[in-house]
Structure 1
Amino acid sequence: MGDPRGHTGAPTSGATALGPEDTVGGDVSAGGRLGLPGAIALVIGNIVGTGIFLLPTSLAAIGSVSILVLLLVTIGAIALAIVFGRLGSRIPAGGGPYAYARDAFGEFAGFWVAWSFWLTAWIGNAGIAFAWVGYVNSLFGWRADNPLQNIAIGLVGLWIPAFVNLSGVKNIGLFQMVTTILKFAPLLFVGLVGLFFVNGANFPAWNASGGSLWAAIALAAGLILFAYSGMESVTIVAERLKDPVRNIGKASIYGVLACAAMYLLATIAIFGTVPAGQLTNSTAPFADAINNMFGGGIWGKVMAACAVVSGIGALNGWTMLVAEMPMAAAQDRMFPTPFARLSRRGAPVFGILLGTILTSIMLVYAYLGSEQGFDTILLLASFTTALPYFFSAAAQLYWLVTGGRDVNRGRLVRDLAITCLALLFGAWIVYGAGADAALLGMLMMLVGVPVYIWVKAKRGEYGPNERRGVAARNETV
């Protein structure tokens, strides 16, 4: 392909005619780089959004089997975090799943994964904003049945992080650290203290979905994956990390483990403190749990405030990712050039603005075009998330089974087992997202093919056979 970087996903050093205020692949070190604490905060902040704050409501409607599913999904998430750590230490140039797929399977696979993740980022932001609105209403005592009011609140929540991201990476890291601390501690508090208030009579039926047990398990898995999406955050922004070879793996694994402990404890605590009938109709289950534990009063408002902070932090981190993935692909000339343009502050302005606009449209659809807006967004985002996860695990498997190097057989067997588990996990989530989400997600994936054709045509490339034919004809002439 004529790529001097060997498909690493690293930015080019050459400049293009983008104007004096923009750069392609410019040095962002002036804006600061994230160390290990900041990288862990980015992972936790992106994983723990407002999705977990509303997820117990959806899971209660499925049944207590969701707790078992949560445990199984957690095992798969940890396997994926380990795989991301291995991939990130070997390919630390940035781009995450996009770079891994391109390195293993070629250009189109890399584009396909980049497109899928880009869809995930802005669709998922709509899900975070949707749940965030419910806690804003709970915090201020506003009615939650006015869609226009909810849309206005959600748009505020989407555009505040957009302006933070436009201000540069240094402010992103500081904002992420503060919001992560403010939200993680109270969530863990609910998970730990709530265990002392658990009443077995409050738990929903084992299978409350009304369908088969297997269908309930698959649906719960599809919903729960969204709560873990974001574990790959540091692999995408590797170029903005200090010592990415070491810190990518550490941040991914530590972040997932911390979130896994909190998720399991909090879900059990909420199931045990909020009666199933109340929980399935709740728009702020964590606030309801606090109120039930301490008899109402100010504590429910405190938890609602924590959820509001959590949502802003998650939206801040995901707004960063919604621009970073296409930026890495654009630097490899695989996404339209505007995605690669950086401002003087190192911010990919076009990606941030376009992603936020598309998220805003999705949020409006969730309130005006769908009766089950939150679940619809979660399942669609789960499908588009699972594809990059699957291809990342496949890239690691491809590297492990490729010969030509000395290996430790014991370590190889261990790594193969972890990688195969992550691969199966990704495939399972595609199935769990359901037929409707898979159909809509596939249609959105196909929209990317004309974009790929357009970008490739702009490069003047028509495939190796065509180029050889042109060269042969020129020599004949």
Structure 2
Amino acid sequence: MAGSEAWEGVTLSRAEAAAPAKDDAADASSGGRLGLPQATALVVGNIVGTGIFLLPASLAEIGTISFAVMGATAVGAIALALVFGRLGARVPASGGPYAYARDAFGEFAGFLTAWSFWLTAWGGNAGIAVAWVGYVNYFLHWDSVPGKIAIGLAGLWLPALINLSGVRNIGVFQLVTTVLKFVPLIFVGIVGLFFLKAGNFGPFNASGGSLWHAGWLAAGLILFIYSGMESVTIVAERIKDPARNVGRASILGVLACTALYLLATLAVFGTVPHARLTGSDAPFADAVNNMFGGGGWGAAMAACAIVSGIGALNGWMLLVAEMPMAAARDGMFPAAFGRTTRRGAPVVGIIAGAVLSSLMLLSSYASENAFNTILLFASFTTAIPYFFSAAAQLFWLVTGGRKVSRGRLLRDMAMAVVALLFSFAIVYGSGDQAVMLGVLVLLVGVPVYIWTKAGRGEYGPRETGRAGNPSARNH
């Protein structure tokens, strides 16, 4: 239908579909909304954490095949960002992948998506915090386990306090930290191009295995570092003009991160000899030292990593509370997760996420293998919301739930299929152990779903006339 969006028997004008859920007065009372710069900063800040500062050294052990894998991964990430843009325009409600899955496939698919993302958010926060500790210790040297735990807990609870203070403070903090970490990294990426030496790059396949094996080793690392591209979709109701800015921020954020990853990795590969790079704990510091000389660059890059990590933790702490809040409003999570302070902060979700991340942090220091398990596990659980989002877009295109021109239909379907393949690749690259653990934890969510439904006296599906505004139907 021209000039409208239609789904589940309800037709809305585009103006109505794009309308924010709250008026300006409500915005003011809830701490304001995020504009396009802050929304894009949220995407970039959540994608670019501490991992980029070690990524070149990890990829050097695999070989320059990593650049081909990075290019292919970028195509999948951009396709998924375009899918988020299309879905965000049609369903401009907080919850992102949860809202899209529930709108297309019903409440149980929505619950599994929300549950999976929630696991990703607080589990991934623990992983970021553990990596962040290493850079803080460049200056503090608290090398005992209690010292590392104290630093990690500070890294988790400082962002929690910022999130409790309201969305306006979150946006300002995220924008500042994103600029502070993005500028030095892109500086290394651009300036390093003038210092490249062909002899530094090393072999195409340095893994010692087949090309197939090397490619998937690289993919397992690269796919995970794009986690967070969905950030802005989950807080759509906190974005100014979400029907437009959710998609724009997603695409701009992914494009910016793709350029950063490619340029920075290329610069480090070409300025640090391969044999030295594979054993480096600070590849960016080594690269800058080789370009300009001097010993103070390690401290500068460690400071960048600290800023990068705390910015990522701040953004992910927002998401760890927003997803269950959106689900709680629809009766899919316990009602306490849906309550907010006068500043609009979902206090239960923030505190619960910080506590669970803290417990995961403690477990990572209790077991040598727990940290790697956390990262691979988070990679798998990330793929579930991506898969359902791409599938939701494909569903509406194939069934005619969304009316578009033939040319746009073919283009959107191609993007949805690429995004689906991208999701499958993340699952495959996570490895057998992570997939098994992830499936088990997903199944744990089913009793939670039953308990929540029973507590509300609901014994069947709930009718939804419009995403985010369900009407209960008891049987």
TM-score using structure 2 length:
0.89
CA RMSD of aligned residues (A): 2.5
Question: Of the candidates 369, 375, 400, which is equivalent to residue 367 of structure 2?
Answer: 369
CA contact (8 A) 1:81 1:256 kept: yes
CA contact (8 A) 1:218 1:433 kept: no
Task: Find the aligned partners of 2:232 and 2:437 in 1 and give their Cα distance.
Answer: 28
CA contact (8 A) 2:101 2:113 kept: yes
Shift of the 249–142 alpha-carbon distance from structure 1 to 2, 3 Å rule, reads: same
Residue 100 of structure 2 aligns with which residue? 100
The reply to whether residue 440 of structure 1 matches residue 437 of structure 2 is yes
> How far apart are 1:125 and its partner, in Å?
1.1
Shift of the 167–5 alpha-carbon distance from structure 1 to 2, 3 Å rule, reads: farther
Q: Please tell me the residue identity of whatever aligns with 2:381.
A: T
Q: For residues 138-181 of structure 1, give each alpha carbon's deviation from its aligned partner in whole angstroms, at most 9, with x where no partner exists.
A: 3x17376x443322222111111111001111110111111111
Task: Find the aligned partners of 2:79 and 2:318 in 1 and give their Cα distance.
Answer: 25
The reply to whether residue 44 of structure 1 matches residue 41 of structure 2 is no
Q: Please tell me the residue identity of whatever aligns with 1:255.
A: G
Q: For residues 187-207 of structure 1, give each alpha carbon's deviation from its aligned partner in whole angstroms, at most 9, with x where no partner exists.
A: 100111112222333334322
> How far apart are 1:208 and its partner, in Å?
2.6
Task: Find the aligned partners of 2:201 and 2:327 in 1 and give their Cα distance.
Answer: 46
Question: Of the candidates 254, 259, 262, which is equivalent to residue 261 of structure 1?
Answer: 259
Q: For residues 272-294 of structure 1, give each alpha carbon's deviation from its aligned partner in whole angstroms, at most 9, with x where no partner exists.
A: 22333433333332223222322
> How far apart are 1:12 and its partner, in Å?
10
Residue 281 of structure 1 aligns with which residue? 279
CA contact (8 A) 2:285 2:297 kept: yes
> How far apart are 1:103 and its partner, in Å?
0.5
Identity value in percent? 69
Task: Find the aligned partners of 1:133 and 1:333 in 2 and give their Cα distance.
Answer: 37
Residue 227 of structure 2 aligns with which residue? 229
Q: Please tell me the residue identity of whatever aligns with 1:237.
A: V
Residue 409 of structure 1 aligns with which residue? 406
Task: Find the aligned partners of 2:390 and 2:95 in 1 and give their Cα distance.
Answer: 15
Shift of the 406–323 alpha-carbon distance from structure 1 to 2, 3 Å rule, reads: closer
Shift of the 48–12 alpha-carbon distance from structure 1 to 2, 3 Å rule, reads: closer
Shift of the 405–295 alpha-carbon distance from structure 1 to 2, 3 Å rule, reads: closer
Note the 1:348-363 alignment, pairs <5 A: 348-363=346-361
> How far apart are 1:296 and its partner, in Å?
3.0
Q: Which sections of structure 2, spanning at least 5 residues, go unmatched?
A: 1-7, 12-16, 463-473
Q: Please tell me the residue identity of whatever aligns with 2:280.
A: S
> How far apart are 1:382 and its partner, in Å?
1.1
Q: Which sections of structure 1, spanning at least 5 residues, go unmatched?
A: 14-25, 472-477
Task: Find the aligned partners of 1:214 and 1:385 in 2 and give their Cα distance.
Answer: 23
More deviation in 87-96 or 300-309? 300-309
Residue 141 of structure 2 aligns with which residue? 142
Give the SS at the match of 1:62. Answer: coil
Please identify runs of 4+ aligned residues in structure 1 that moved more than 4 A: 3-6, 10-13
Residue 321 of structure 1 aligns with which residue? 319
> How far apart are 1:405 and its partner, in Å?
6.3
Residue 428 of structure 2 aligns with which residue? 431
Q: Please tell me the residue identity of whatever aligns with 2:177.
A: T
> How far apart are 1:64 and its partner, in Å?
2.0
Residue 465 of structure 2 aligns with which residue? none
> How far apart are 1:228 and its partner, in Å?
1.1
> How far apart are 1:342 and its partner, in Å?
0.6
Question: Of the candidates 159, 165, 172, which is equivalent to residue 161 of structure 1?
Answer: 159
Q: Please tell me the residue identity of whatever aligns with 1:229.
A: S
Shift of the 352–11 alpha-carbon distance from structure 1 to 2, 3 Å rule, reads: farther
Q: For residues 226-259 of structure 1, give each alpha carbon's deviation from its aligned partner in whole angstroms, at most 9, with x where no partner exists.
A: 2111111111101101111111111110111111
Residue 418 of structure 1 aligns with which residue? 415
CA contact (8 A) 1:147 1:368 kept: no
> How far apart are 1:47 and its partner, in Å?
1.1
Task: Find the aligned partners of 1:155 and 1:244 in 2 and give their Cα distance.
Answer: 34
Q: For residues 381-433 of structure 1, give each alpha carbon's deviation from its aligned partner in whole angstroms, at most 9, with x where no partner exists.
A: 11111110011000000011113665311111111111100111101110111
Residue 19 of structure 1 aligns with which residue? none
Q: Please tell me the residue identity of whatever aligns with 1:273.
A: T
Task: Find the aligned partners of 1:156 and 1:76 in 2 and give their Cα distance.
Answer: 35
Q: For residues 420-454 of structure 1, give each alpha carbon's deviation from its aligned partner in whole angstroms, at most 9, with x where no partner exists.
A: 00111101110111101111111111111111110
Shift of the 210–443 alpha-carbon distance from structure 1 to 2, 3 Å rule, reads: farther
Q: Please tell me the residue identity of whatever aligns with 1:142.
A: H
Task: Find the aligned partners of 1:261 and 1:464 in 2 and give their Cα distance.
Answer: 44
Shift of the 147–339 alpha-carbon distance from structure 1 to 2, 3 Å rule, reads: same
| Number of equivalenced pairs | 448
CA contact (8 A) 1:64 1:203 kept: yes
Question: Of the candidates 442, 446, 450, which is equivalent to residue 449 of structure 1?
Answer: 446
Give the SS at the match of 2:135. Answer: helix
> How far apart are 1:317 and its partner, in Å?
0.5
CA contact (8 A) 2:142 2:148 kept: no
Give the SS at the match of 1:228. Answer: coil
Task: Find the aligned partners of 2:155 and 2:342 in 1 and give their Cα distance.
Answer: 25
CA contact (8 A) 1:223 1:379 kept: no
Question: Of the candidates 207, 210, 217, which is equivalent to residue 209 of structure 1?
Answer: 207
Shift of the 209–376 alpha-carbon distance from structure 1 to 2, 3 Å rule, reads: farther
Give the SS at the match of 1:342. Answer: coil
More deviation in 273-282 or 331-340? 273-282
Q: Please tell me the residue identity of whatever aligns with 2:112.
A: W
Q: For residues 303-328 of structure 1, give each alpha carbon's deviation from its aligned partner in whole angstroms, at most 9, with x where no partner exists.
A: 21111111111110000000000000
Note the 1:43-122 alignment, pairs <5 A: 43-122=43-122
> How far apart are 1:215 and its partner, in Å?
2.4
TM-score using structure 1 length:
0.88
